[in-house]
């Protein structure tokens, strides 16, 4: 049997450890917040001392420009109260060499950046690795990017931003979860047949879409089957709707219709009986016999 006193002391010890851990986290958070405030204050003082906007540089490929890109540029723009944001974009030659094939051309990517409201200036043909000479040439005070390491051109796995981080001119931005250029491309690949079919219907040729003759024919046959299926489905819905209306009408008026039918049926039976009696009477008249008279008696 467990000792109640020992259990009580154990729980008390656990509570003390938990309280100490929480206190340590709280102190660390306060220290981090103070450091952030001091850094921001120092940046604001630098901006005032310089008497000009702080020149912040952000770079990337920016293929299929999306709101994740825009949010990172927004963070860079808001790094200081007064920021001039320069955005560098690598050309096709550099990008294809170090990263891979892009969907958009470099000209299209440059133009997309120029239409982002956070961007003050676009630097085309941006270098893959940032150097001191590049910072000096464009009078860049800070470089903004997410903290993930990006391999440089050496092949040794060195971080592209290693130099900037070492001299204290790196400003970290946060990535937006759930959206990326790769994610958008994967969505297109996943629904590839739908994408091709939709664009064939819009008038694009198989050569425009890069599909074979047989694939085009197969997709067009599928398109016709889908049209036929939609027509059959619409017809079924119309018939079902009509039958539903007839059913509702029958349920609503059944009692009245049945009563009317019985009334008509009874009236018809009475008329038929009268006619039969008259016919029999006519056939018996030569003999002086009356069916009506017989019924009265």
Indicate the burial class of 86 (C-beta count within 10 angstroms; 0-12, 13-18, 19 or more): buried
Per-residue confidence (pLDDT) for residue 93, from 0 to 100: 96
Reported as a pLDDT band with limits 50, 70 and 90, residue 158 is: confident
Contact assessment for residue 90 and residue 126, using Cβ atoms and an 8 Å cutoff: yes
Tell me: pLDDT of 167 over 90: yes
Contact assessment for residue 143 and residue 171, using Cβ atoms and an 8 Å cutoff: yes
| Residue 219, phi then psi, degrees to nearest 5 | -70, -35
Cα angle for residues 124, 128, 129 (degrees, 5° grid): 120
| 131: Cβ contacts below 8 Å, ≥ 6 apart | 163
Nearest to 65 by CA among 94, 106, 5: 106
| Residue 228, phi then psi, degrees to nearest 5 | -65, -40
Question: Of 145-154, 159-168, 275-284, which one has max mean pLDDT?
Answer: 159-168
Per-residue confidence (pLDDT) for residue 220, from 0 to 100: 80
Domain boundaries, the chain: 51-177, 180-243
Reported as a pLDDT band with limits 50, 70 and 90, residue 187 is: confident
Report how far residue 11's alpha carbon sits from residue 8's, in angstroms, rounded to the nearest whole number.
Answer: 5
Per-residue confidence (pLDDT) for residue 296, from 0 to 100: 45
Average confidence (pLDDT) over 260-286: 65
Tell me: pLDDT of 116 over 70: yes
CA neighbours within 13 Å on the CB side: how many for 258? Answer: 6
Q: Is 51-177 a domain of CATH 3.40.50.620?
A: yes
- Side by side, which strands form the sheet with 170-172? 121-124, 83-89, 54-60, 142-145, 170-172
Per-residue confidence (pLDDT) for residue 214, from 0 to 100: 84
Per-residue confidence (pLDDT) for residue 200, from 0 to 100: 83
Nearest to 164 by CA among 125, 130, 127: 130
Cα angle for residues 214, 216, 222 (degrees, 5° grid): 105
| 32: Cβ contacts below 8 Å, ≥ 6 apart | none
Contact assessment for residue 120 and residue 86, using Cβ atoms and an 8 Å cutoff: yes
Reported residue count of the chain is 297
Q: How many CB atoms lie within 10 A of CB 275?
A: 10
Per-residue confidence (pLDDT) for residue 62, from 0 to 100: 97
On average, the pLDDT of the chain sits at 79
Tell me: pLDDT of 20 over 50: yes
Which range has the worst mean pLDDT, 24-38, 91-105, 145-159?
Answer: 24-38
Cα angle for residues 221, 222, 228 (degrees, 5° grid): 90
Provide, rounded to the nearest whole percent, the portion of the chain with pLDDT above 70.
Answer: 66
Per-residue confidence (pLDDT) for residue 50, from 0 to 100: 66
Per-residue confidence (pLDDT) for residue 157, from 0 to 100: 60
Contact assessment for residue 134 and residue 108, using Cβ atoms and an 8 Å cutoff: no
């Amino acid at each position: 049997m467990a000792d109640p006193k020992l259990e009580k002391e154990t729980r008390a010890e656990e509570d003390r450890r938990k309280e100490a851990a929480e206190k340590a986290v709280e102190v660390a958070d306060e220290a981090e917040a103070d450091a952030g405030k001091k850094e921001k204050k120092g940046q604001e003082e630098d901006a005032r001392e310089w008497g000009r906007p702080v020149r912040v540089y952000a770079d990337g490929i920016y293929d299929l420009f999306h709101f994740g890109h825009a949010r990172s540029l927004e963070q860079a723009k808001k790094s200081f109260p007064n920021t001039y944001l320069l955005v560098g974009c690598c050309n096709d030659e550099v990008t294809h060499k170090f990263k891979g094939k892009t969907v958009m051309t470099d000209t299209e990517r440059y133009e997309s950046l120029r239409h982002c409201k956070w961007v003050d200036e676009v630097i085309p043909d941006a270098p893959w690795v940032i150097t001191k000479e590049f910072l000096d040439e464009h009078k860049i005070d800070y470089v903004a990017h997410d903290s993930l390491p990006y391999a440089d051109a050496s092949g040794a796995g060195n971080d592209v931003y290693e130099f900037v981080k070492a001299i204290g001119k790196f400003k970290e931005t946060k990535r937006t979860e759930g959206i990326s250029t790769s994610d958008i491309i994967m969505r297109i690949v996943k629904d590839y047949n739908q994408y091709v079919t939709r664009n064939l219907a819009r008038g694009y040729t198989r050569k425009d879409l890069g599909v074979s003759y047989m694939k085009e024919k197969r997709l067009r046959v599928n398109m016709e089957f889908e049209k036929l299926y939609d027509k059959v489905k619409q017809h079924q819905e119309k018939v079902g709707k009509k039958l539903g209306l007839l059913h509702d009408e029958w349920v609503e008026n059944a009692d009245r219709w049945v009563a009317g039918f019985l009334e008509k049926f009874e009236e018809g039976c009475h008329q038929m009986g009268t006619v039969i009696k008259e016919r029999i009477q006519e056939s018996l008249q030569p003999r002086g016999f009356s069916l009506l008279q017989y019924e009265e008696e």
